[in-house]
Every structure is written in C-alpha cells, then in structure tokens.
Amino acid sequence: MNLFATPLDIALSCVFLPVTLFSVWQLGTWALLQAKWSIIADNLRVLMVGTFPVESMGRAWYVAGVLSVATGATVGLVAKPRGLGACALVLAVVAVIAAVAGHIRMAGFSGCLTLGLLPWAAVSKFLVVHRLVQKAIGAIWVLGLVSVGVALAPAGMEHWGGLLMSVLVTLLASVLSIPLGVLLAFGRRSHYASARVICTGYIELMRSLPLILIVYWIWVVTPLLAPGNPVPDLIRGLVAFTLFFAAYVAEYVRSGLQGVPRGQTEAAASLGLSATQTSRDVILPQALRVVTPALVGNVLDVFNTVPLLFIIGLTDFLRAGQMVLIDPQSNGRSYEIYLFMFSIYLAVSSLITYGARRLESNMAAGHRQTGA
C-alpha cells in the first residue's frame, strides 16, 4: 500500500498520519499509565454473566468451554493456523499451566482459549479430523447448544446476562431463523397464491419495521396469547429476534434460489424426482452454498443488535457495563468500562467477519476448481 503515490495521497497522508499517530500515542499513554483497569477485574463476573449465581459459576465455565470447542472446530474448517496460530496455541498452553498455579479465574479464561485453539489446529491440520468435523459440524452445534441449555436451566433464565446472554441469543436466533427463513423463501416462490401472498407479506412487514418495535410487541402480546402461563422475558426476546431475522434470511435464500440454473430443476424432473425432492436435494444445497457467507454475516447483525433487549429488562453485555457504572465505586471509570466493551465487541465481530471472508474465499476457490 503506497501512501504517497499521488499528490492527493501525499496530502491526505500528511494530514491523517500525524493525527492517527498522535491519537494512538494519547490512547496508549492513558491505557498504560493512567487507566485503572482494576475496575474491570473487580466487575468481570457482572460483565461476563450478569447476575448469574456465584455458586453456579461452574455451569457458566462449562458453557464457555463448550462454545470455545464448537467455535474452534468451525474456524478450523475454513482457516488454517499458520505461524501466528501455532505460537498462540503454545502460549495458550503455557498460560493455562501458569494460571492454574496462580489464579483460578485466569485459569478459566486460559482454558477456554486453549479449548478453542486445540480443535482449530486439529481440524485444520489433520485431514481425517477435518472430514469428520465437516460432516458432523451441525450436530456438534445442536448438541452443544442443547447441553448449554441443560447446564444453565437450574440457575433460571432471569439470571442469565452479560456477554454470556449476548452470545447465546446470537447463536440461538441465528440457528432458529435459518429453517424459518428457508420455508419463507420457498413460500414466496410457491405456485400457491395464498402461500406466496402470506410469505411475501410477512417478509415485507418484518423488513419494514424496526427490530426494537418487534421485540416490544412480542413481549406485550405473549401474555395475551398464553394467559396464566408466564413466559420468560429471554424466550420472548429470542422469539422476536428469530421472527425478525428470519425475514432477512428468507431474502438471502431467495437470492440463492434465483441463482440456481433452471436446468437443474429440469434435470431433476427428468430423473423422476418429485418437486419436494428436487427442492430439498438439488436446489436448496446449491442455494445455501451461494448464500452461506451472507448467512454468516447475518450472525454479526444479530450480535450487534442484542443490546436492544434492554427494552424488556434483559441484561446483555452493554447493559451489564452500564450496571457497573451505576455503582458509586465505579464513578469516573467509564472510559475503562466502555473501552473494554469496545474491545470485546471488536474481537467477536472480527472473528465472525474473518470466518465469513475465509468461507467465501474457500467457496470461490472450490467453485473455480470445479469449473476447471
């Protein structure tokens, strides 16, 4: 990248480089010399899990471990760790040993890091493991999420919060919205006018309304639909997210369906396949292959909008940080809290974005090889 290629590049570089370097210097000086990061350590439990009971923290660590393993295995399918990844793996193992000998909380974080890096390295380096995980990745995530729900259920959903709740809502809403979105996409292309009108109306309605309105509407209407049967606020919020993002998934899938050549349908019909078999075994796999990067990007949209759940009283990661700042002992420490939350959001978003780009690159390479 040449910053001084043209007179305009030179002018812009002379303006922005000093400003950028000065900003980095000021931020680094404050972070290393003036910031009091003890506020993060003292309130880390609230930021990570909200009001989750202290006596049940072992369950929260189990959930973190399961999600780390599933994430590491998924990343291993699309990205191979090179020199940097190998060094990070060694450092993580060393950190676990040092942390176990020192502080139990650091041992937990280091252990989760290692549980994510080990599957990443194993899946990407060993072909047999790669093939096995590739076939079973869906089952891994489904079983993992089920075990997570079983582990956290005794603590009560009203105590789920912090980054843990944000991640769980993101994963569950992303997974549940896919089958509903696929049905809506096929319904919008249906030969039956009633199904086509209903699905089209639903998609356009959801895409025309703000998510915060959908969340509040579902939260208000649920008691009317199920009187005498209290539904946890977390379930209501999850339903709202699923219904809302399913409309966007439907549009992604519909674009993929339109990209499948018509000859594929004709070839399937010539083989005697029914319309259902053609859609399920021929058309849908090809469409999903095209739109998978967009579906992964949709996960990022879900994660970034989880803070809207504050309107129904849930304590997501951002709300947990605001709870910490309400404490008089945290007075004047807002920069540290918000910078920490910014770093976490950036790390999670970067991981999702990296996975989407690597997945898109791998699919493009596979398509070129197939075409060749």
Quote the CA–CA distance of 71 and 113 in Å, as a whole number. 11
Q: State the first-to-last Cα distance of the chain, in angstroms, to the nearest integer.
A: 32
Token output for 356: 């989407």
Query: Are residues 148 and 165 both part of a single domain?
Result: no
Nearest to 156 by CA among 228, 225, 56, 223: 56
Task: Among 158, 191, 206, give the residue marking a domain's end.
Answer: 158
Task: Tell me the backbone φ, ψ of residue 261, rounded to 5 degrees.
Answer: -60, 145
Query: Are residues 167 and 67 both part of a single domain?
Result: no
Query: Are residues 120 and 168 both part of a single domain?
Result: no
Pair 270, 198: CB distance under 8 Å: no
Q: What is the CATH number of the domain that holds 205?
A: 1.10.3720.10
Query: Are residues 303 and 254 both part of a single domain?
Result: yes
**Taking the CB of residue 39, how many other CB atoms lie within 10 A of it?**
21
Token output for 196: 């086509």
Quote the CA–CA distance of 114 and 239 in Å, as a whole number. 33
Question: E strands within 69-182?
Answer: none
Q: What is the predicted pLDDT for the residue at 102? A: 44
* Helix pair angle (127-152, 162-188), 10° resolution: 110
Domain span holding position 288: 161-372
Query: Are residues 258 and 368 both part of a single domain?
Result: yes
Query: Are residues 209 and 132 both part of a single domain?
Result: no
Q: Is residue 19 part of a domain?
A: no
Query: Are residues 216 and 290 both part of a single domain?
Result: yes
Count of domains forming the chain:
2
pLDDT along the chain (372 residues), means of 10: 73 85 86 81 85 87 89 81 54 50 56 80 85 87 89 86 90 91 90 90 93 92 82 91 94 87 80 79 82 85 91 88 82 83 86 76 56 45
Pair 74, 114: CB distance under 8 Å: no
Query: Are residues 176 and 270 both part of a single domain?
Result: yes
